[in-house]
Amino acid sequence: MTQAHIADDRMSQFDHVLVLDWSANSTPKRGADSIWIGSAGKARTAPENLPTRHSAMAALRRRIDAALAARERVLIALDIGFGYPRGFAARLTGRPEALAVWDWLAARITDDMHNRNNRFEIAAEINRRFPGTGPFWGRPSKRDLPDLPEKGSARQGTGLAELRETELLCSGAHPMWKLYTTGSVGSQSLLGQAHLARLRSDYGAQLAVWPMEGHDAPVILAETYLSLLDPAVKVASGYPCKDAAQVDLLARALHVTALAPLLAPGAPAELLREEGWILGAGHEAVLLAALDAANL
């Protein structure tokens, strides 16, 4: 891939790329294991560390507003799951669509300015709607929630897969059902989907969720996986923590990569609407090569 090809493809798609490392912390936090925003493109900045989800969403809105005012396009990639294994959405909402789950969660999740939230209680409520012990698991031992088991091995009869199709392409991916301890992407996703549903409502047709709604709007939300660039992150230096390196390098890699193949996953449309897809899944070598070719 030549430098000219990289630049031409980049400018034809997105003027800005933002990558967010989300967090399910229940108190404000900075540093490792908190929220980081990496950026690439016309207004590239050093990774930004936000202490709360509310402050992160405010930062996102400022960047979106600035880009829209300048008639520029923005890709926002978040390290949370956008969908759940097949069968979940229809059982919960009556519609086999991930975005229906977003709206369901937005109507029930509370998450205040200090990160205090009710994600475990909502997960327990969801479990009660499913056969067996329900799909979600993981909680602090002191939380009295009989419908939310502490261990995944305590579940039975859910009738749902552990991983989505896209997660099978990503080494080390954790299930969306896991809500507590290391790798608990489930907690981040419950909270993140509720916030993104409100963002989607605020911006209307100016914002689209990929792959459920395509990628032609000025602002595109996409799911990604920060471990896609692990080889580059392992040798990166000058960052305050691993999270900062991940969001910065992935934002830059996405900005200089020919994104058309990544934005066209070879999966049925109905699966994409229900489960979503990880931007970059199966294309790790392409992203690493683009990052290397651009001397980033």
Question: If you search the block for the tokens 């400022």, which residue do you land on?
Answer: 62
Supply the pLDDT for residue 10.
39
List the domains of the chain with CATH numbers: 3-81+185-234+243-270 (3.30.420), 88-169 (no CATH)
Q: Is the pLDDT of residue 13 over 90?
A: no
pLDDT at 2 over 90: no
How far apart are alpha carbons 224 and 76 in whole angstroms? Answer: 9
- 5 pLDDT above the threshold of 50: no
> In the prediction, which pLDDT does 50 show?
98
Q: What is the pLDDT of residue 294?
A: 80
Separation CA 140–CA 276 (nearest Å): 29
- Percent of the chain whose pLDDT exceeds 90: 88
pLDDT in tens, 239-265: 999 999 999 999 999 999 999 999 999
pLDDT of 8 reads: 40
Q: In the predicted model, what is the mean pLDDT of the chain?
A: 93
**How much is the pLDDT for 296?**
61
CA 244 to chain centre: 16
Q: Supply the pLDDT for residue 4.
A: 35
6: pLDDT confidence band, cut at 50, 70 and 90?
Answer: very low
Chain segment 109-138, per-residue pLDDT in tens: 999 999 999 999 999 999 999 999 999 999
Report the alpha-carbon distance of residue 117 to residue 121 in Å, rounded.
9
Q: Which residues contact 168 (CB under 8 A, 6 or more apart)?
A: none
Residue 12 has pLDDT above 70, yes or no: no
Q: What does the pLDDT look like over 33-72, one tens digit per residue?
A: 999 999 999 878 899 999 999 999 999 999 999 999 999 9
**Long-range contacts for 86-93 (Cβ within 8 Å, ≥24 apart)?**
86/160, 86/161, 86/271, 86/274, 86/275, 87/159, 87/160, 88/135, 88/160, 89/274, 90/274, 91/129, 91/130, 92/126, 92/129
Residue 11 pLDDT: 36
